Homo-oligomer: A and B are copies of this chain.
């Protein structure tokens, strides 16, 4: 249960008070505003605020292009053009603010995207809640044999059971000892009056990295697309990808035209190297190109074939 009853009541209250505004409004986001989409076992993503819509992208582009472009293209066509030609500044005119609850090892990956504004729950200041990420059995993946960074099949049987047990026990014990070192409970009752209690900024170091933290994270649409391109990718770690996928749904509801262009030109597009383009041209001219005569390394050839023929239909 990612949300407490108190939090749900706050959300309901916020949603019960519509205001009037002269700003652009995105109906698809209004329907979602404040509501939490569950992610992993205790996490969530929810939209807390936003600015702009598809029309704001178009409007910014038309400022740049001036009178010349007016009416020359419809909005969808203009947005597709901007995406195709990497004109990023009009997409920067839209902004979104998310409230995210996520495990610390995921937060450490996420924060590497520097072009965002962040306010994170401070474990110097407050006591962390007792919530840990424990993978569902089907996501308890083995180390990939061929790829040092990847996952293999899910663990099974006794090995899986032991891993789950260790993760649960270690997280729980570390948290209990954290509380013991703090010498206080959440409601502030002191456990042992003879003790001073360790500073929170020190005690937190005893917590495992699957404990949940939360933050407000605000970014513009261009940088959000960059984030999604990297983190909704099949090579991203599952535990951050599920957040990225939840955000994809949000963006689709927010700016449907921009989302469609992003899918067309980024998520489901492909790129090729100079050597790859040369191979492609030979193939189109009827030549049989193999890894040996491609000029590519085996790894690169494998990636090239996968991009060209993901379902293995070509000869």
Q: How far is the CB of A178 from chain B (nearest CB, A)?
A: 9
How many identical subunits does the complex contain? 4
Contact A56 B66 (CB under 8 A): no
User: Chain B residues with Cβ under 8 A from A142's Cβ?
Assistant: 196-199
User: Chain B residues with Cβ under 8 A from A263's Cβ?
Assistant: 274
Chain B residue with Cβ nearest A109? B124
Q: How far is the CB of A69 from chain B (nearest CB, A)?
A: 7
Given known pairs A30-B21, A93-B218, A273-B269, the reply for A66 and B166 (CB within 8 Å) is no
Q: For the complex, give the distance between the alpha carbons of A3 and B206 in Å.
A: 24
Say yes or no for A9: interface residue by CB 8 A criterion.
no
Say yes or no for A1: interface residue by CB 8 A criterion.
no
Say yes or no for A301: interface residue by CB 8 A criterion.
no
Given known pairs A93-B117, A122-B65, A216-B63, the reply for A201 and B18 (CB within 8 Å) is no
Contact B204 A61 (CB under 8 A): no
User: Chain B residues with Cβ under 8 A from A92's Cβ?
Assistant: 117, 218
Contact A208 B206 (CB under 8 A): yes
Contact B126 A68 (CB under 8 A): yes
Contact B174 A170 (CB under 8 A): yes
Say yes or no for A167: interface residue by CB 8 A criterion.
yes
Q: For the complex, give the distance between the alpha carbons of A122 and B273 in Å.
A: 27
Q: For the complex, give the distance between the alpha carbons of A34 and B15 in Å.
A: 27
Q: How far is the CB of A2 from chain B (nearest CB, A)?
A: 15
User: Chain B residues with Cβ under 8 A from A313's Cβ?
Assistant: 281, 285
Q: Mark A95-124, 1 if CB is under 8 A from B, else 0.
A: 101010001110110011011011111101
Chain B residue with Cβ nearest A207? B209
Given A60-B216, A124-B149, A207-B208, list of 12 further CB < 8 A pairs? A18-B22, A49-B51, A59-B216, A64-B122, A66-B126, A67-B127, A133-B205, A140-B198, A141-B199, A170-B174, A208-B208, A264-B273
